[in-house]
Amino acid sequence: MKSVIINMADRMKDAQDLKLESMFTSKAIADNGFSARIQQRLRRQLWLRRLTLPIAVLIGGAIAMKPLVGFITALPKLFSVLPASVSSNLQQVPISIPQLPTIMLGGMLVIVVVMLTRMLEE
């Protein structure tokens, strides 16, 4: 059995193809700048959505920073209150709590990476 390959360029245009082609070649309807205003509004809303989450993360991080610092400074006091058997086991585990500038730098890097990936997606 022999198959016949038909190229799209070789095919004859029917009535529907001609109607569709005429729709795309027609001039745009004059709307007195309405379409441009709608597109501008949509772009503004898109930027608002893009910036809302990062700004909320920054504000939330700033609010949570004071309790986080208090928690980190309270950890040594918590370890001193623990029973001797638990605290001796914890001393054998190598735990190093990073300093505050290191935590801040890591947090800022995470925020920057998240913001860049979100902007590159769209």
The string of pLDDT tens digits covering residues 9-49 is: 546 777 888 888 887 887 777 888 888 888 888 888 888 88
> What ranges do the domains of the chain cover?
50-122
Q: What is the dihedral of CA 65, 69, 70, 71, to 10 degrees?
A: 100
Per-residue DSSP letter, 98: P
Distance CA 79, CA 95 (A): 12
Q: What percent of the chain has pLDDT over 90?
A: 0
Directed axis angle between helix 84-92 and helix 34-81, to 10°? Answer: 120
Phi, psi of 78 (to 5 degrees): -65, -40
